[in-house]
Structure 1
Amino acid sequence: MGRSTVAVIGCGPSGLATLKNLLEEDFDATAFDKRHSIGGVWEYNENVNYTSTLPTTVSNVSKYKNCFTDFPVPDDMPAYLSASQVSDYLKSYAQHFDLYPHIRLNTEVRKVARDADNTKWRLYLSSEKGEEIFDFDKVVFCSGLTALRCVPDIEGIQQFAGKVIHSQAFKHPNDFAGMKVLVVGLGNSAVDTCTELVGLAEKVYVSHRNGINIFPRHCKGKPLDFHIRRRDEAIKHALTAVAPGLSKTLHDRYVQRLTKESFNLDPAWRIHPPPSILTHQPTISDSFVSCLHDGTISSVDGICRFRNENDVELVDGSVIAVDAVIFCTGYSPDFEIFAGQDLTSDPTTSEHHDLGHDRGYTLPFTRLYQNIFPPEYSDSIAFLNNWAFTVGAFPIADLASMAIAQVWRGAFSLPSRVDMDHEIDASHLWLRSLAKDDSVYPGIVPEGPWLHWLHKAAGTGVNEKLGYGLQGWLFWFRHPRFCNLLMGGLASVHTFRLFDGRRKKWQGAKEAILRANDNAKQYIDRH
């Protein structure tokens, strides 16, 4: 019958990992990207409609936890890579695994629709060659988590005479030189935007209604993610399964203590109390808090309305005059090109639930099994742009695409469509329970069960060998020192390729794990 053809839309980290893992399982895969280069957001782009890092951006996750599972970041690179270094790493990955012959750049996928015979997916492309149409057996959407910008509709904004942009269009900090700038939001984009403006803008205000969990990149003398060991994660997931409320309380207390040990927070800034770390990604910055202390950035309340050409009224009743507003209010996944398919409806309710109520806009649910597969087309459609995670995206995308490859090659079976729908409904109920007391991104996943499913589907052997069943105890008995290192040392992502399993094992995994832990000693011994 021949090899199944697969289109991968997007050539950022998720798209590259997906392309590589599909080719590894003998799929005839081709990746498309409308940009001129691979790398996604990590490749700086002047286009204000493309999300990209700035040249000065530094990764928020260390190289030990944000790399691909069978391709370590070189030892001579720093713990936290700059945007250009991440871009170089991605290009090296594509070259190492010979991905370039399977990539088409400067090619926009405008629409994906079922063909007339309802047997294949038809891609409508636009490139230098003009308009093209190609048919594929399967499609993976890897357009990223930052495709479509979300901007709140605030009363009176039409009369504001100043500059108004979303952070997606923030490309040149010098454009705001001498201005009084109001940055809306308190996530990673917001704090990075604020600190970029310090020394250029006359005044920088950061407007927010809620707090955050904020950390420096190095905490207690070592990279932040060194504080997360596999054994700790296993205990947390086990406790969450039997006592979710207690697990949430203990975990939040721990991360809030890390913040307070790292920073001296003024209560007037309203950074604490923060939302739960289980439902919100932490904010990472080495300089934001010091800028709040020296007054180069001022924390103000949320926006209530725009009063005239320059004045903005805040929720607390105060009024500030500004020349520009930058909305760092997040993004939503892009499902628009999936023509004729409604993935955002929820049959259990007639209304979309406001999971982002503090930000002034509503994000709907998506009906995707494991946040990846639409039940009706689970054998031919997958999305890697609808999950949110608090750790590095590179290894999770790598693991998820391994799972997709194993499902589509018939090595792992999904539940029936009815059962998938039931699990999706249960996931929506869980999301609604979280949203009662807080804002929640709809792509958030229950971390422990979700990772367990991905490992099971991909066939990594991690669940069995590093679990507490018979295989786990046998592995510990045979390799006690190495097992203790895996559980109590640096939680290396190369463990995903260590054991025999359905996905391809990497023979260099053990050496990479030992080397990463050896390199990590420089931080542990220093403290």
Structure 2
Amino acid sequence: MTTDALRAPVHAELPVAIIGAGPAGLSAARALKRLGIRYVQFERHSDVGGIWDIDNPGSPMYRSAHFISSRDKSGFFDYPMPKDFADYPSREQVLRYTRSFTDDFGLREAIRFGTAVSSVEQDEDGAWTVLTSTGATRARAVICCSGVTWDARTPGIPGDFAGRTMHSVEYVDPSLFRGQRVLVVGLGNSGADIACDAAANADAAFISTRRGYHFVPKHVFGMPSDETEWLPIWAERLVYGIVRRVMVGDVSRWGLHRPDHRLFESHPLLNTQLLHYLQHGDVTAKPDIARFDGDKVVFADGSRERIDLVLFATGYDMTIPYVPADYFAWKGGRPQMYLNAFSRQRHNLFGLGYLEVNSSAYTLFDRISHLMAQYLNDQVHRPDRAGKFERLIREDRPDLSGGIKFVGSDRHAAYIEVRAYKKYLRTLSKRLGWAELSPGLFNTVRAASTRKASAHANG
């Protein structure tokens, strides 16, 4: 493939291939369906939902999981979550909502369930061959929507441990902790949730962290805390700085590290329940692990604890195993894509969901897939405008940080600030003459699905 791979011929007679039927894949399907773009969707599991289906093999979901963002900020565009859902919906509610979205927009008919994708290759003519467990499919474009929480990252710890170790991807039910002395390593939002499960069920519970985190209450003035997104970032920092000082205070009192970064330069923790358990001695904070020593864990401060189970809540590596590595510019374990979505190396290779964001992702998925669909549509009907966007894919490098200096780690390399990202997408749409997302945009898709379902029921 030459360096002109970004400007390959358009194979309009072929479908677009969507890989994955979790929230990102379903967003892409709805966007393509609205514009009448033919597509086929591959899902290795037996139903939609991605990680939110606890029965999906490899899902990191656990029984006590809830959405980190609130109900009214967490839905697909123009498809709000039901008002009778909790402020922070449970995993069961999120899965039920995702499946209702699938059915209401008639997205099931194009999904090939039980079909795993093993490889994706771009052919010499610019088209794509998608090899699956049921055969090969030729496609004009590929949208990778297979998610970022499947490949667990576990640190190497010196020494030998006599107890059990596991990663949070294996964790499902708090009954695992009964009768155990448990150490949870890592304190992202999942780690904090699991530490709370351990505090309530284990004989003794400990958390080990390398750095400090900002704790943000889930509710401020009776409202979910992410409903302040309309504020500029400086004002949001000011509000939460005051709220944290009044409601949380100095977390080092309970053995936690003080944060070494400003608020929003990394994900804050929306889990004041953990502070409750720390305050009551049901969980004990420890520093980083120095080494294992039989049935003991030795920490960086020289202290040691007898531990039965070590659970690593240490995150995941972003991988797209079915795509050759050189099709994306990988750096620090993250694919470096235009707008975190468009491959700069290959024509019509996209990734949806490969970003870290400080707000709900579902509407962002819709905004990105809306751009993808318009671009694919322009390749057939407005090739001049598609060419302008291809030049942007090659050359445009916008700052999507919103002025936030994110923590300098591989994990944070793909971070974006939601307000800056949305603003740039709006600017881009106006620049190219593309329609912006607006209420009612998908009504025709939903109406067509309703008519088809009614005709099927009456037939």
SS in 2 for 1:123: strand
Match of residue 300, structure 2, among 308, 315, 319: 315
Are 2:422 and 1:451 equivalent residues in the alignment? yes
Structure 2, unmatched stretches of 5+, are: 1-10, 445-459
Check whether the contact 2:67–2:90 (CA below 8 A) recurs between aligned residues.
yes
Are 2:93 and 1:85 equivalent residues in the alignment? yes
Structure 1 counterpart of 2:29, which letter?
L
Structure 2 counterpart of 1:455, which letter?
R
Check whether the contact 2:356–2:412 (CA below 8 A) recurs between aligned residues.
yes
Match of residue 17, structure 2, among 7, 15, 19: 7
C-alpha deviation, 1:140, in angstroms: 0.6
C-alpha deviation, 1:71, in angstroms: 1.1
Are 2:138 and 1:135 equivalent residues in the alignment? yes
Are 2:69 and 1:61 equivalent residues in the alignment? yes
C-alpha deviation, 1:176, in angstroms: 2.5
Match of 2:43 in 1: 33
Match of 2:282 in 1: 296
CA gap of 1:388–1:434, structure 2 versus 1, over 3 A, is: closer
Match of residue 132, structure 2, among 109, 114, 125: 125
Are 2:354 and 1:368 equivalent residues in the alignment? no
C-alpha deviation, 1:133, in angstroms: 1.2
Match of residue 272, structure 1, among 258, 264, 268: 258
SS in 2 for 1:199: helix
CA gap of 1:453–1:193, structure 2 versus 1, over 3 A, is: same
Structure 2 counterpart of 1:19, which letter?
A
SS in 1 for 2:103: helix
Structure 1, unmatched stretches of 5+, are: 237-246, 347-362, 465-494, 508-527
TM-score by length of 2: 0.84
1:101-112 matches, cutoff 5 A:
101-112=109-120
1:46-445 matches, cutoff 5 A:
47=57, 50-115=58-123, 117-126=124-133, 131-156=134-159, 159-229=160-230, 232-233=231-232, 236=233, 247=234, 252-268=237-253, 269-273=255-259, 275-306=261-292, 308-339=293-324, 341-345=326-330, 363-377=332-346, 379-410=347-378, 413=386, 420=393, 423-424=396-397, 434-435=406-407, 440-445=411-416
CA gap of 1:172–1:338, structure 2 versus 1, over 3 A, is: same
SS in 2 for 1:497: coil
Structure 1 counterpart of 2:283, which letter?
I
Structure 2 counterpart of 1:338, which letter?
V
C-alpha deviation, 1:292, in angstroms: 0.6
C-alpha deviation, 1:121, in angstroms: 1.3
C-alpha deviation, 1:106, in angstroms: 1.8
C-alpha deviation, 1:200, in angstroms: 2.0
Check whether the contact 2:24–2:365 (CA below 8 A) recurs between aligned residues.
yes
Residues in 1 aligned to 2:76 and 2:325: alpha-carbon distance in whole angstroms: 34
Residues in 2 aligned to 1:262 and 1:408: alpha-carbon distance in whole angstroms: 49
Match of 1:471 in 2: none
Q: What CA deviation, in whole Å up to 9, does each residue of 1:312-331 have, x standing for no partner? A: 22122222221111111111
Check whether the contact 1:11–1:38 (CA below 8 A) recurs between aligned residues.
yes
TM-score by length of 1: 0.74
C-alpha deviation, 1:421, in angstroms: 5.0
Residues in 2 aligned to 1:86 and 1:460: alpha-carbon distance in whole angstroms: 35
Q: What CA deviation, in whole Å up to 9, does each residue of 1:43-70 have, x standing for no partner? A: 11273xx123223222221111101112
Match of 2:452 in 1: none
Check whether the contact 1:177–1:200 (CA below 8 A) recurs between aligned residues.
yes
Q: What CA deviation, in whole Å up to 9, does each residue of 1:118-152 have, x standing for no partner? A: 432111112xxxx4111111111111231321111
Residues in 1 aligned to 2:307 and 2:175: alpha-carbon distance in whole angstroms: 16
SS in 2 for 1:205: strand
CA gap of 1:417–1:458, structure 2 versus 1, over 3 A, is: closer
CA gap of 1:329–1:278, structure 2 versus 1, over 3 A, is: same
SS in 1 for 2:205: strand
Q: What CA deviation, in whole Å up to 9, does each residue of 1:393-445 have, x standing for no partner? A: 11111111111111222265476777645545x86999997555x67522112
Residues in 2 aligned to 1:330 and 1:419: alpha-carbon distance in whole angstroms: 32
Check whether the contact 1:179–1:201 (CA below 8 A) recurs between aligned residues.
yes
Check whether the contact 2:290–2:298 (CA below 8 A) recurs between aligned residues.
yes
Residues in 2 aligned to 1:505 and 1:32: alpha-carbon distance in whole angstroms: 23
Residues in 2 aligned to 1:271 and 1:414: alpha-carbon distance in whole angstroms: 50
Check whether the contact 1:79–1:223 (CA below 8 A) recurs between aligned residues.
yes
Residues in 2 aligned to 1:496 and 1:148: alpha-carbon distance in whole angstroms: 33
Structure 2 counterpart of 1:382, which letter?
F
Residues in 1 aligned to 2:211 and 2:416: alpha-carbon distance in whole angstroms: 21
Residues in 1 aligned to 2:323 and 2:314: alpha-carbon distance in whole angstroms: 24
